[in-house]
Structure 1
Amino acid sequence: MTGVGRPQRTVPEQTSSEAKTSPLTPVSSMRTFWGLMRAYWFSDRWKEAWTLTLVIAALTTLLSKTGVWLALMLGELTNSVNFYHDAANTAPLRTLLTNAGLVIVLFVLKDAGIAGARSLVSATLHRKWRGWLNSQFNEALLDGNHTHFHAQHGSPSTGTAAPDNIDQRIQESMKAMTGGAIGLAMGVLGVATSLYFIGENLIQSSVEVTGLEFLGGYGTAVLSLLAIATYVPINTWIAVKLGKALERLNVRLQQAEGSYRGELTTFLRRSFHVAASRGEDVQKTMHNRLYSDIDRTWARFNIVTVCYASFEAIHNFMGFRIIAYAPGLVSFIHNKLDLKGYVTGAEMLNQLIGQCSWLIRVMPDIATLRANAQRVTELANAIESVQQPQEFYQQTGRSDFSYATQNPVFGLTIQKLELAHQGEDATPFLSAANLRFRRGEWTFLKGESGCGKTSLIKAINGLWPYGRGTIVFPEGVTNFYAAQEVKLQQVSLRQLVCLPGSENDHSETQVAAALHKAGLGDFIEHLADESREGKIWDQVLSGGQKQKLVVARIILQQPGLLFLDEATGALDPEGKIAFHQAIKDNCPNVTVISVMHEAVPPRSLAGEEFYHSVVAIADGVATKKLLAPSLPRELTTILTQPPRPTEDKWLRFRRLKQK
């Protein structure tokens, strides 16, 4: 990790009301299903959202009305076929062809013209909505609070587990959710408009039913609506039961596939190490184990899906071939309804059953929608829960760090620091009563592996969750955290050097100069490139070159505080000396705190010490001492005594050194 800014919690005191109120994030309103569904329509993009929605609503209404016209024309076509040889029909062929032509025109207008236009507008709404959601979640995750980091430290005991496969949630789940929601909304509107238009026509064309004379002329209309009111709800109840099973399996399948994909991605990143250790068999076993989980879940999912498809086929046959033609049959038999009216009524009922059965048809989509929405709302809840990191970590352990600022003359101060692991009663593994790092001082952290050197640096930067203590930063001083493992993003080389800032913050000459001073001058001509010979920079540069790239960033950024967390681990002895010398020559007055594997810190080629002091960690206690043999007397005095308020002893020492 490089370029981590100073912890956001710079004020050590908060009122109780402030501590209980989490700051709003771009996804604060998306923590529930309906909150997620409506957020876009009440955002700053509401005009765009509502315009597209109203166009879709208008096209859906027109589509339902066209369905009524089509049903009427199908009745006319059936009637022209039935009376083709009737003596009163003077132009049977022309009537038949005219009705057939009108049916074709209405069908093309309905299913190709209006439906096609609605598909295009709904696809546009889908694209816009998904893009907006994607930007909101990215903004919420990638903020100055390091939310993306803290969100991955959740646990069931906090009430918000760490979200797995965040990439899958933001991309696949969000894309499927937005598409499914729009489709379902159009289905609901289609039902409403169809009920209005078709119901109105059924009532107008209704006739009396023998045996049900008390219904008067509304007989066939009542029977039609009663058939729908009985048949559709029963089948919908069955569909809901099957849909819940699909939803559960869908979530489980997403989790299993995400785990398998994540392991594949991790494997490809450590491909060399697997090859070098001949660990292919172990990796293969791991892949087989993860995929077997996918296979078992997929098998159960397929069984439920087939059952649902069979149920839907039976429902369609019964609805379209029997239920739709039953209500008008008695009136047709008793000659109270002619063939044209009977067929027209049946076709209208077909249309209405089809629209009212949308829930049954799309139940698998609803199951998928709810599964995807659950994945997204879980991520929104995880983001919101860590907006006050210290309060978040206090749910699972002791987290009582205080961050403040002071006059930069006094440098960095650490007071009564204790670091622990998760758990209320966890024993501190590292304590530091009082550590001070003066401006321009270079300090070497020394101790056995696992003693807490890296944890100390993380705690100073607000990236260690459990413990307590006070960290006081020099006011107005920027800090830079350089870790051992450097992961490069897929951007241009110039942008990589300019991180954590923008490539517009520095001129090309400045960037090129920083690269040259860091020992990467051969790459200056490729500053504008995002890749080289088909490979991104993370694949092109070796481990040592990546650490030299970090030196270029440091030279360019000119931080006042520099944390080196084994940042020279991939360099040879000469490279480590050059690493330190480049910082010494180009970053005057920088305060350096460094962790290295070496027992003693490196020296310059002239034999001079880079480091002024050492913090030794032994038996869980960090103590600081000066490297006295190599320090001039004046610097020793300055580092061991606090400066007077009226005198900058650093300036005094530099004047004496010049003399």
Structure 2
Amino acid sequence: MSDATGAKVQIQTGAVGAFLRLAGGYFLRGKGAKWLGAGLLALTLLQILIQIRFNLWNRDFFNALENRDRNAFLWQMVLFVGLAGSSMITAVYQLYMKQLVQLRWREWLTRRLLDLWMTNARHYQLERAGESDNPDQRIAEDARLAVDLAVDFATGIFNSVVMLIAFIGILWSISGALNLTVAGHAITIPGYMVWAALIYAAIGSGLTYLVGRPMVALNFWRTAKEADFRFGLVRARESSEGIALIGGETDERRGLAKLFTNVADAVRDLMKSQRKLMWLTSAYGMLTSVFPTVVAAPSYFSGAITLGGLMQIGSAFGSVQSSLNWFVDNFPRLAEWRSSVERLLSFRESLRVIEEMVQDGDQPTIVRVEEKAGEEERVAFRDVQVAFANGSVVIAEASAEIRAGERVLVKGESGTGKSTLFRAFAGIWPWGSGEIHMPPREATMFMPQRPYIPLGTLRGALSYPSAPDKVSNKAAVAALERVGLSHLEDRLDGEERWDQVLSLGEQQRLAFARLLLQKPRWIFMDEATAALDEENQDAMMRLVLEELPKSALISIGHRPGLDAFHERTLHLQRGPEGARLAIRPPGRVLRARKIRIRNPFNRRVRATAG
């Protein structure tokens, strides 16, 4: 077996209970969920009643044949048409009702998972912490499988239990007693066909569990590898330009081939396990077709039962076996369901870990205090230490304060933690310690180097994160003209992949147009002009100062000329003693202020405002 056998896949116990705690709330709070569930069970019960009536028809039909009773035969054919029609109608609506329950339940669970994932930057923190792989696949595919198969299993188990109760009674009453003589002692076994069915099903279920048990872990492993391969393909598609420009197709093929090799290895391991199970289930199924007839044949040959009775016994035995063999027949799907549920549960657990760490975890985190409306707005960080998710420190014990309306430029070498500090300002980077005071969220706007351009219309990209109808046509056109994108005015309501249609420079200018429309009191720019030439950069920065003269501006940037648009500079600089934080106005020196920080190697250094 390949690497799958060595993988330590942690399968939690009580998966059913854990899944119901995660998803079972739908049947308590989902709109119309109880009625849908009740309707599905009612249709399932009706179908079972029809099957019971079919069992009686089976007896009467073959008795009519045996007795050569033409009138009885014709009546049974009329009855068959009625039963068959009823069964067809019930089956159609039962399937529709089941699919409706599956869809509504999946909608409810997907919305819940999206709420958990897309709240308070949990999606970003989860990715940075490396707590859970492929969350998109878990929400889209695993949620679908978990819900669809859960409904299938619930209706299947209900059907099997009711069928078992009904047909055990029928089988007990028609099979009679079996008289045996063992060592000179007469033994009578009442309802012997029932005991034969129970023993037969118990042997089959036990063997199936023993042979098929490894399939749960193997399904989990295969699903994970399929998700990795799918992610690699999507990443290659999204990065196609960079791959083509650098001529990296050979390396990409090698990487994708390796990912698919992992998929193939996982599938081979699963195939081997399924092959073993197939040997068992095939032999078991073949024996089931003749077993009841062989066991009941002595009673038929002795004249104790008629041909109709023999057929009825065979039909009832088959129904009992079908009920008892539900586990045998569905074990591969149970294994698939279990692996999907485990992935969903581990995803939810990862989100819970992130949530507890941020809110009330044992390890220290950065405390972000958002000022209330009416209070004096500021950005202030006191004794802030910024770390990575693995605990290594990137910025240590720094303190500073920026007042409303100030314009501050943050500079420093790559890797000194400038962008990470901005993420802490935004509240999406919890790792570290200390306290950050921020203005209200609705008063701020963060502009990363690569702006996020959502799917949909250009108007929607301009208004993001507000709804497209919040931006009038006049305001949108004016904003585009101000940033030099007037050639896009006629395409405001056109749906495109705007992140691919627009160059990075155009995307950055679109972000400035978005800024003009939203008019925040606090603007945070992280290399927001990096893709612009110096002339366009100066034009965008002048535009901000002209249109939003009272807004505070905090920028990260290396480009020459940015200093002219800021009142002071916060400089993170490496040195032989570690990082140095200096705060300077352009062209003159401020009075020194001391700020102590601690570097990742625990060497104490001093940072001053020069």
TM range (shorter): 0.7 to 0.9
Residue number among 434, 437, 450 corresponding to 1:472 in the alignment: 437
State the match for 1:497 in structure 2. 462
For 1:125 and 1:420, how far apart are their aligned partners in 2? Answer: 46
Query: Quick one: which amino acid aligns to residue 566 of structure 2?
Result: Y
- Identify the match of residue 304 of structure 1 among 264, 273, 276: 273
The question of whether the paired residues in 2 share the 8 Å contact of 1:206 and 1:220 is answered with no
Q: How many angstroms apart in 2 are the aligned matches of 1:203 and 1:37?
A: 40
Q: 1:392 to 1:248 in 2, by over 3 A?
A: farther
Q: Is the 8 A contact 2:173 2:191 kept in 1?
A: no
CA contact under 8 A between 2:178 and 2:191: conserved in structure 1? no
Alignment match, 1:405: 371
**Cα distance change of structure 1 residues 463 and 311 upon mapping to structure 2, 3 Å threshold:** same
In structure 2, what is the equivalent of residue 623 of structure 1?
A: 582
Matches within 5 A, 1:207-218: 207-211=176-180
Would the alpha carbon gap of residues 422 and 340 (structure 1) be closer, same or farther in structure 2, given more than 3 Å must change? closer
Structure 2 match to 1:64? 48
- Deviations along 1:275-325, whole A, 9 cap, x unmatched? 111111111110111100011111121222233233222212222311x22
Q: Does residue 116 in structure 1 map to residue 116 in structure 2?
A: no
User: Which AA in structure 1 matches 2:47?
Assistant: L
Q: What is the one-letter code of the residue matched to 1:63?
A: Q
Equivalent pair of 1:477/1:561 in contact (CA under 8 Å): no
Cα 1:295–1:103 change in 2 (3 A) is: same
- Select the residue among 442, 445, 455 that pairs with 2:410: 445
How far has the Cα of 1:544 moved from its partner? Answer: 0.6
Do structure 1's residue 517 and structure 2's residue 482 form an aligned pair? Answer: yes
1:574 matched residue in structure 2:
535
Q: How many residues align?
A: 570
Alignment partners' CA distance in 2, 1:319 and 1:269? 53
Distance 1:282 1:198 in 2: 63
Match for residue 528 of structure 1 among 484, 493, 503: 493
Partner of 1:601: 561
Q: Counterparts of 1:253 and 1:414 in 2: how far apart (Å)? A: 47
1:447 is displaced (CA, Å) by: 1.5
Amino acid at match of 2:539: A
8 Å contact kept, 1:414–1:432: no
What secondary structure, in the 3-state scheme, does the structure 1 residue paired with 2:91 have? helix
**1:205 aligns to what SS in structure 2?**
helix
Say if 1:582 and 1:220 are closer, same or farther in 2 by CA, change over 3 A. farther
C-alpha contact 2:366 2:436 (8 A) present in aligned 1: no
1:414–1:436 CA contact under 8 A, matched in 2? yes
Q: Aligned partners of 2:269 and 2:424: how far apart in 1?
A: 47
Per the TM alignment, residue 404 of structure 1 is displaced from its structure 2 partner at its CA by 5.0
Q: 1:171 to 1:114 in 2, by over 3 A?
A: same
Query: Are the aligned partners of 1:232 and 1:357 in contact in 2 as well (CA < 8 Å)?
Result: yes
- The whole-number CA distance in structure 1 between the counterparts of 2:398 and 2:177 is 95
Alignment equivalent of 1:348, drawn from 281, 292, 316: 316
- Greater CA drift, 255-264 or 437-446: 437-446
Find the aligned partners of 1:142 and 1:37 in 2 and give their Cα distance: 18
CA shift in 2, pair 1:304/1:201, >3 Å: same
Which structure features the higher share of strand residues? 2
2:365 and 2:432 in contact (8 A); partners too: yes
For 1:367 and 1:361, the matched residues in 2 are separated by 12
2:281–2:328 Cα contact (<8 Å) kept: yes
Of 118, 122, 127, 1:152 maps to 127
Partner of 2:196 in structure 1? Answer: 227
Deviations 1:374-413 (A, max 9, x none): 1112222222222244357754xx5343535387656322
Aligned to 2:293: 325
Displacement of 1:549: 1.0
- Larger RCO (CA under 8 A, 6+ residues apart): 1
Q: Percent identity?
A: 21
Q: How far did 1:98 drift? A: 3.8
1:146-545 map, 5 Å: 146-154=121-129, 162-211=131-180, 222-322=191-291, 324-390=292-358, 395=363, 398-405=364-371, 409=376, 411-422=378-389, 426=392, 428-431=393-396, 433-474=398-439, 478-531=443-496, 536-545=497-506
Among residues 8, 31, 54, which one is paired with 2:38 in the alignment?
Answer: 54
Contact 1:246–1:301 under 8 Å retained in 2: yes
1:78 maps to amino acid = F
Taking the aligned partners of 1:500 and 1:200, their CA distance within structure 2 comes to 64
* Match in the other structure for 1:38: 24
In the TM superposition, residue 153 of structure 1 has moved relative to its aligned partner by 3.7
Distance 1:177 1:476 in 2: 37
- Following TM superposition, by how much is the alpha carbon of 1:371 offset from its aligned partner in structure 2, in angstroms? 1.0
Of 564-573 and 499-508, more deviation after overlay is shown by 499-508
Question: Per-residue CA shift, 1:632-651, capped at 9, x if unaligned?
Answer: xxxx99x99xxxxxxxxxxx
Provide closer, same or farther for how the CA distance between residues 432 and 36 of structure 1 changes in structure 2, counting only shifts above 3 A: closer
Is the aligned partner of 1:126 residue 2:102? Answer: yes
Alignment partners' CA distance in 2, 1:249 and 1:104: 46
Deviation for aligned residue 1:625: 1.3
Match of 2:113 among 137, 141, 165: 137
Deviations 1:532-584 (A, max 9, x none): xxxx2111111011101110111111111111111111111111111111211
Question: What is the alpha-carbon distance in structure 1 between the residues aligned to residue 368 and residue 144 of structure 2?
Answer: 41
Q: Which amino acid aligns with 1:238?
A: L
Q: Using a 3 Å threshold, how does the CA distance of structure 1 residues 51 and 369 change in structure 2: closer, same or farther?
A: same
Deviations 1:351-375 (A, max 9, x none): 2111221121111111111111111
**Cα deviation 1:494-534 (Å, max 9, x = unaligned):** 12111122224333322332222222222222222222xxx
Give the conservation status (yes or no) of the 8 Å contact 1:560–1:590: yes
Which shows bigger deviation, 193-202 or 247-256? 193-202
- How far residue 617 of structure 1 moved from its aligned partner, in angstroms, is 1.1
**Pair 446,49 (structure 1): closer, same or farther in 2 beyond 3 Å:** same
Maintained 8 Å contact 2:167/2:320 = yes
Alignment correspondent of 1:21: none
- Is contact 1:432-1:623 (8 Å) kept? no
1:434, distance to aligned residue in structure 2 (A) = 3.1
- 2:170 and 2:331 mapped to 1: Cα distance? 29
Matches of 1:75 and 1:626 in 2, distance apart? Answer: 100
Aligned-residue CA RMSD in angstroms?
Answer: 2.8
Contact 1:432 1:622 (C-alpha < 8 Å) held by counterparts: no
Q: Residues of 2 paired with 1:513 and 1:41: CA distance?
A: 50
Deviations 1:30-76 (A, max 9, x none): 9922323522111242xx22211111211211222222222222222
Task: Give unmatched runs, 5+ long, in structure 1.
Answer: 1-28, 156-161, 604-608, 641-659
> Cα–Cα, structure 1 residues 207 and 35, in superposed 2: closer, same or farther, change >3 Å?
same
Letter in 2 for 1:459: A
Distance 1:422 1:503, change over 3 A: closer
Alpha-carbon distance between aligned partners in 2 of 1:612 and 1:507, rounded to the nearest angstrom: 34
Distance change (3 Å), C-alpha of 1:357 and 1:309: same
Q: Give 2:306's aligned amino acid.
A: D
Matched-pair contact (CA < 8 Å) for 1:67–1:351: no
**Could you say if the C-alpha distance between residues 116 and 433 of structure 1 is closer, same or farther in structure 2, counting changes exceeding 3 Å?**
closer
Per the normalisation by structure 2, the TM-score is 0.87
* 2:216–2:335 contact (8 Å) kept in structure 1: yes
How many Å separate the matches in 2 of 1:352 and 1:419?
Answer: 65
Counterpart of 2:83? 106
Q: 1:465, 1:347 → 2: CA distance?
A: 65
Give the aligned partner of residue 653 of structure 1: none
Query: TM-score under structure 1 normalisation?
Result: 0.81
Structure 2: runs of 5 or more not aligned: 1-14, 594-610
- For residue 489 of structure 1, give the secondary structure of its aligned residue in structure 2: coil
Cα distance change on mapping 1:192 and 1:388 into 2, 3 Å: closer
Query: In the TM superposition, what is the alpha-carbon distance from 1:221 to its structure 2 partner?
Result: 5.9
- Supply the distance in 1 between the matched residues of 2:377 and 2:585 (Cα, whole angstroms): 17
Counterpart amino acid of residue 82 in structure 1: E
Farther-moved stretch of structure 1 (280-289 vs 353-362):
353-362
